[in-house]
């Protein structure tokens, strides 16, 4: 009887051990599957993070390159414009100022303007730069009034640096003939040509 009891105990023990081993193997497989799944998800997430980082880095690189190209283009255009302005300053501003400082040159322009104004047959005021007072002789100034039969009043203005202006008595408009007016007029025509000569544009 004790042998049978011993056999029975031995069988129960072995069945228990086998069940425990089976359960342990199942738990190990389940844990391994979960671990593999976690590792897979972590790897996928890491790849996604790296991929997003590469994409953002490429976008940042492209945007930076575009911004640098635009900044370089604006800077180049600004430098070109300044060079054109320097060339035009030397070519126009200085000679024009010199011309308007010359009483003979100014007389010629005033006479041509007054002759054209005579066609209007209107009363007017001519303002001449005060710097020309004493440089334009009284005979010349008197002849201006005579040309328009006393309809032109001559004034010297400290507000006008060089040149002169002509306007009707009512002041409804003013024709300005200064060194700056002439220089700006010529610059409008010469700026594109100067840029083409300097830069081939």
* Sheet arrangement for strand 124-129: 152-157, 124-129, 164-168, 175-177
Model confidence pLDDT, tens digit, residues 117-160: 777 767 788 888 888 888 877 777 777 767 767 677 888 888 88
Model confidence pLDDT, tens digit, residues 48-65: 888 888 888 888 888 888
Cα–Cα nearest to 128, from 146, 152, 154, 97: 154
- Give the pLDDT band (50/70/90) at residue 78: confident
Cα–Cα nearest to 100, from 154, 38, 32, 162: 162
Average pLDDT over all residues of the chain = 79
| pLDDT for the residue numbered 15 | 77
Backbone angles phi, psi at 128, to 5 degrees: -115, 145
Distance CA 33, CA 36 (A): 5
Average pLDDT over residues 89-118: 80
| pLDDT for the residue numbered 148 | 67
Residue 140: strand, helix, or coil: helix
Average pLDDT over residues 10-34: 78
Domains and CATH numbers, the chain: 97-199 (3.30.2320)
| pLDDT for the residue numbered 150 | 65
Tokens of 148: 């328009």
The model's pTM is 0.53
């Amino acid at each position: 009887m004790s042998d049978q009891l011993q056999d029975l105990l031995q069988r129960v023990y072995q069945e228990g051990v086998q069940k425990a081993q089976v359960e342990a193997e199942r738990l190990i497989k389940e844990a391994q599957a979960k671990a593999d799944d976690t590792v897979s998800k972590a790897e996928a997430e890491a790849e996604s993070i790296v991929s997003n980082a590469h994409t953002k880095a490429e976008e940042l690189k492209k945007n930076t390159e575009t911004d640098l190209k635009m900044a370089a283009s604006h800077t180049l255009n600004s430098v070109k414009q300044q060079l054109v302005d320097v060339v035009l300053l030397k070519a126009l501003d200085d000679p024009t100022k010199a011309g308007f400082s010359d009483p003979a040159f100014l007389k010629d322009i005033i006479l041509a303007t007054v002759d054209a104004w005579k066609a209007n047959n209107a009363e007017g005021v001519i303002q001449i730069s005060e710097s020309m007072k004493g440089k334009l002789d009284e005979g010349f100034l008197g002849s201006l009034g005579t040309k328009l039969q006393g309809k032109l009043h001559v004034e010297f203005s400290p507000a006008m640096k060089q040149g002169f202006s002509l306007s009707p008595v009512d002041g409804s408009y003013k024709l300005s003939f200064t060194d700056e007016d002439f220089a700006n007029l010529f610059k409008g025509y010469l700026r594109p040509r100067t840029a083409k000569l300097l830069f081939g544009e």
